Amino acid sequence: MRIKAVVAALLIPAATAAQEPLSVIDWLNDHPGTGLPGTVVMEPPVANGIVNPEIEVSPLEELAPPLGLVPSSVTGMPLDLWVASDIDDLTDHIATVPVADSPSMQALLYSLLLSETRPPGGDAAEQLTLARIDRLMALGAVDPAQALTRRADPMASAALFQRWFDATLLTGEEEQSCRVLTAKPHLAPGYDARIFCTARAGDWQTAALTLETAHALTLLPQWKLDLLDRFLSPEIYEGAPPLPAPASVDPLAYRIREAIGERLSSQDLPRAFATADLRDVAGWKAQLEAAERLTRVGALSANQLLGLYTERLPAASGGIWDRVDALQRFETALGTRSPDAVAKTLPPVWSAMRRVGLGVPFAELFADPLASQDLTDPGAVNLAWRIRLLSSAYETAAHYPPDTSEMSLFLAALAQGDPGRVEAPSDLAEAISEGFSGNVPLTGDIRRAIDDARLGEAILMTMDLFDSGASGNPADLANAISAFRRMGLEDTARRASLHLMLLGHG
């Protein structure tokens, strides 16, 4: 069960519907048509004279082919999103922009990273590609990182090959990268990779000889040599105590530990390692924990999480098992179409999912089923409505507020993009309303980035500003919301504000 990509919601001036995130399957299945149109009958050309056309010339390095997994026509991002940026500034923004506490910012970042775009001129193409892949890996979006590396050609450089090799190890598809490494050993990230792939190809004698050389010349750290010894000669170490956990671990070491029966928990490792726990070799609990961890940052679809939650009955109680039980009871209640059963099971499952940062994925899964329920309990009606506001159907839900309280009226107005028409019920709501007023000028850095055609940078700067605002700076929040709207990111501005109002920050 692995992610087949993650794409975020977005827009530049596209309609709101075009800004919704693709599902993990959609971006693979919904390829744009590649066929040429049939014969087109046209009238013969008519001209009264000859005019020499104006020809615009650009240096070849400025016309590098676009790279990405999703066409710009789908994401709404222009192809020249990055071309005017300084590569060092750009890669620093990509690596550090904070998104962990905001599903809307996560969605926007995925759109930026996965959209087909051209790199800045000169020799910056690979540097930008590596920055995009590295941030995807840091988010745990290993499958799209692997796909993006393939699109960039992993055989083009050792740096690209290493990213591809690491990704394939975590997704269980290392056969592909090992085949390339065997044919092109100069791409190997290290002797451990060569030994692993040689052994995996069945040439144990050559792998053992290479390992002996690595021992003799101290070509690898001792802990890696010990690990490879057990990998190549398991019979010698049968009954030996497990190796101590290394201070740091890479994907290859992780997979070798798995192969010798000394699997490490991915919980204390970087998020990308959680992808390895989605495979069938992991137990159900490990799969559930990995899926929650990845879904929390948008690296796994809510539907995949739901599939794991409902795969079987909980094996115990407490912790994650209580969430599984609460969700299964709620889903059963929905199936009965009993208003009382739904009203009884909705609060506990919502509390459980919100507590672990899965409120928005839960809303995406159940907004439509909740809308079709004929609920009568006032508390359940109000909660169901707020959950629907957290989903992509927020604008539809906004037309049916459950009551006339100050907060409900404000949330409804915000979902329709006009919060200023009602009284703001809190200081946070007042800052959001100011951001939507149209009276907040762009900050200097963002204005200069837009004026210099550095739109991608401007978006990343605004994401930084939003994080500052969400953390308690009302002026930054109003500025960020205003900037998103001026750049055509209306859906992002509304959803990020709704998430902040309903879930808080962090």
Q: What pLDDT, on a 0 to 100 scale, did the predictor assign at position 63?
A: 61
Express as a percent the part of the chain with pLDDT over 90: 84
Partner residues linked to 70 by β-bridges: 115
Buried b (16+ CB within 10 A) or exposed e, 63-75: ebeebbbbbbebb
Q: Give pLDDT, residue 487.
A: 96
**How would you class 355 by CB atoms within 10 Å of its CB: exposed for 0-12, middle for 13-18, buried for 19 or more?**
exposed
Residue 57 banded pLDDT, cuts 50, 70, 90: low
> What is d(CA 135, CA 299) in angstroms, rounded to the nearest whole number?
11
Q: How far apart are CA 23 and CA 27, in angstroms?
A: 7
Which pLDDT belongs to residue 47?
35
pLDDT tens per residue, range 293-309: 999 999 999 999 999 99
Q: Please provide the distance, in angstroms rounded to a whole number, between the alpha carbons at the two ends of the chain.
A: 28
Q: Mean pLDDT lowest for which of 29-43, 56-70, 416-430, 434-448?
A: 29-43
**Which helix (DSSP H) or strand (DSSP E) does residue 248 occupy?**
none
Assigned token pair, 251? 């994907």
Query: Mean pLDDT across the chain, nearest whole number?
Result: 89
Q: Torsion-angle region of residue 10: left (phi > 0), alpha (psi -120 to 50) or beta?
A: beta
Q: Residue 275 is encoded by which pair of tokens?
A: 């992808």
Give me 141's structure tokens. 């979006």
pLDDT at 65: 87
The whole-angstrom separation of Cα 164 and Cα 157 is 11
Mean pLDDT of 240-266: 93
Is the predicted pLDDT of residue 54 greater than 60, yes or no? Answer: no
- Residue 311, both tokens: 């795969």
Please state the length of the chain. Answer: 506
Q: For the residues 272-296, what does the mean pLDDT come to? A: 95
| pLDDT interval class at 245 (50, 70, 90) | confident
**pLDDT on residue 279:** 92
For the residues 245-264, what does the mean pLDDT come to?
93
What is the pTM assigned to this prediction? 0.87
> Helix, strand, or coil here: 309?
helix
The alpha-carbon radius of gyration of the chain (Å, integer) is 26
State residue 506's pLDDT score. 66
Res. 96: pLDDT tops 50? yes
Q: For 66, which DSSP code? A: P
Question: Residue 40 burial (CB < 10 Å; 0-12/13-18/19+)?
Answer: exposed
Q: pLDDT class for 64, splitting at 50, 70, 90?
A: confident
Query: How far is residue 5's CA from residue 126's CA, in Å, rounded to a whole number?
Result: 21
Rounded CA gap, 193 and 206, in Å?
A: 13
Residue 442: is its pLDDT beyond 90?
A: yes
Residue 216 in this model has a pLDDT that exceeds 80: yes
Between 117-121, 320-324, 330-334, 412-416, the lowest mean confidence (pLDDT) is in 117-121
C-beta atoms surrounding 220 within 10 Å: 18
User: In this structure, which amino acid lies at residue 79?
Assistant: L
In sequence order, which residues have a C-beta less than 8 Å from that of residue 329 and are 6 or more positions away?
Answer: 345, 348, 349
**Per residue in 5-53, pLDDT tens?**
333 333 333 333 334 333 333 433 343 333 323 322 222 333 333 333 4
- Under 8 Å between Cβ of 285 and 320: yes
Mean pLDDT of 267-275: 96
**pLDDT reported for residue 40:** 28
Are residues 361 and 299 in contact, defined by beta-carbon separation less than 8 angstroms?
Answer: no
Beta strands in 363-480 (DSSP E): none
String of DSSP letters for 12-35: TT--GGGGSPPPTTHHHH-PPP-S
Distance, in Å, from the CA atom of 475 to the CA atom of 435, rounded to the nearest integer, reads 9
% helix / strand / coil in the chain, to the nearest 5?
A: 60, 0, 40
Contact 305, 333 (CB under 8 A): no
What is the per-residue pLDDT for 59? 54
Contact yes or no for 374/348 (Cβ under 8 A): no
Which phi and psi (to 5°) does residue 67 adopt?
-130, 130
Structure confidence at residue 315 (pLDDT): 80
Amino acid at 120: P
- Confidence label for 235 from pLDDT (cuts 50, 70 and 90): very high
Confidence of residue 411 (pLDDT cuts 50, 70, 90): very high
What digits encode the pLDDT tens for the residues 307-357?
A: 999 999 998 899 999 999 999 999 999 999 999 999 999 999 999 999 999
Q: What is the DSSP letter of 75?
A: H
pLDDT at 1 over 80: no
Single-letter amino acid code for the residue at 486:
R
Q: Are residues 360 and 499 in contact, defined by beta-carbon separation less than 8 angstroms?
A: yes
Give the three-class secondary structure for 91. helix
